[in-house]
């Protein structure tokens, strides 16, 4: 059964963000990260390596304080974005990860401005192809990240949450950025960072997509090479981070595929090389 919902709307960074609404989790976490950094009011290229970990810790903390268990509550997005609801503690301390790619994102805009952001996933995979269609049925029941209370505990008939978060950014009511990512629980951090690099810091879309990323699991911070100086690394360690620097960029950090549209209607696009992404502008 297909559920059709209004997107989650957020006014931030001089425009409007549209993303996947609850009971999906990913869109709300991206929105909370965008809002958190805007309210801090100081994001720039020189403090990027300090501010992004703060935002990642903030949105992870919201999950740890019970957002996972409140995601099906009516109007939870509005409550979270307007009041930073003080959630009770819940036993979610570490977010399991799936290091393999099973999620695909496509961003599209046509000559008339019709825009689409769509993310699909096999989850853990079902091993079943619908005869005559070539369509592989997914299986999200084995995704630990969207079963935070444990497997087989979601009441019958209740929708599984999702971390998938196809996202658009509008300026003056017109699409300015279309993006999304695969990457299991890393996709929200990938989308957040690529969007901010382009919208806030002004990076061209290819640079924004390819820029080295960070992702946290609790106090463990995974970092791609080329982003942390030794002083910045030391400062983060003083804040309690355990830093793991990767030797090269990796599929682990998601695969953001994005389209940017300038104020004259010019289009540029980027496919993330971490996941074999392809971009085509005709």
pLDDT tens column, 117-175: 999 888 777 888 889 988 888 877 777 777 777 888 888 888 888 889 999 999 999 99
Write the CB contacts of 141 (distance below 8 Å, at least 6 apart in sequence): 123, 124, 147, 151, 160
Has residue 22 been placed in a domain?
yes
Has residue 1 been placed in a domain?
no
Q: Summarize pLDDT for 214-243 with one digit per residue, the tens.
A: 999 989 999 999 999 999 999 999 999 999
Has residue 126 been placed in a domain?
yes
Q: Summarize pLDDT for 57-105 with one digit per residue, the tens.
A: 999 999 888 888 899 899 999 999 986 544 443 333 444 444 444 788 9
Structural domain tally of the chain? 1
Region of 108 on the Ramachandran plot (φ > 0 left; ψ -120 to 50 alpha; else beta): beta
Tokens 């029941």, residue? 141
Average pLDDT over residues 166-195: 96
DSSP one-letter code for 158: P
What residues are labeled active site?
A: 103
Full domain range(s) for residue 43 = 9-275
So what's the pLDDT on residue 255?
96
Has residue 195 been placed in a domain?
yes
Domain with 56 in it: what CATH number? Answer: 3.60.20.40
């Amino acid at each position: 059964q297909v559920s059709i919902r209004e997107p989650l709307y957020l006014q931030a960074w001089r425009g409007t963000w549209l993303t996947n609404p609850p009971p999906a989790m990913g869109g709300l976490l991206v929105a909370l990260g965008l809002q958190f950094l805007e309210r801090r009011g100081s994001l720039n290229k020189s403090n990027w390596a300090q501010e992004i970990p703060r935002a990642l810790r903030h949105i992870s903390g919201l999950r740890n304080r019970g957002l996972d268990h409140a995601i099906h509550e009516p109007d939870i997005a509005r409550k979270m974005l307007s009041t930073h609801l003080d959630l009770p503690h819940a036993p979610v301390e570490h977010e399991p990860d799936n290091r393999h790619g099973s999620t695909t994102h496509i961003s599209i805009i046509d000559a008339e401005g019709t825009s689409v952001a769509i993310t699909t996933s096999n989850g853990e995979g079902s091993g079943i192809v619908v005869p005559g269609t070539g369509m592989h049925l997914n299986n999200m029941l084995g995704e630990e990240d969207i079963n935070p209370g444990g497997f087989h505990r979601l009441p019958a008939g209740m929708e599984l949450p999702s971390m998938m978060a196809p996202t658009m950014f509008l300026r003056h009511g017109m699409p300015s950025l279309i993006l999304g990512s695969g990457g299991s629980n890393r996709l929200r951090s990938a989308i957040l960072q690529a969007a901010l690099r382009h919208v806030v810091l002004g990076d061209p879309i290819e640079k924004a997509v390819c820029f080295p990323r960070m992702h946290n699991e609790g106090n463990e911070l995974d970092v791609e090479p080329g982003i942390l100086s030794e002083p910045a690394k030391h400062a983060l360690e003083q804040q309690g981070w355990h830093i793991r620097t990767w030797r090269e960029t990796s599929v682990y950090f998601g695969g953001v595929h994005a389209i940017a549209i300038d104020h004259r209607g010019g289009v540029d696009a980027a496919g993330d090389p971490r996941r074999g992404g392809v971009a085509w502008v005709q």
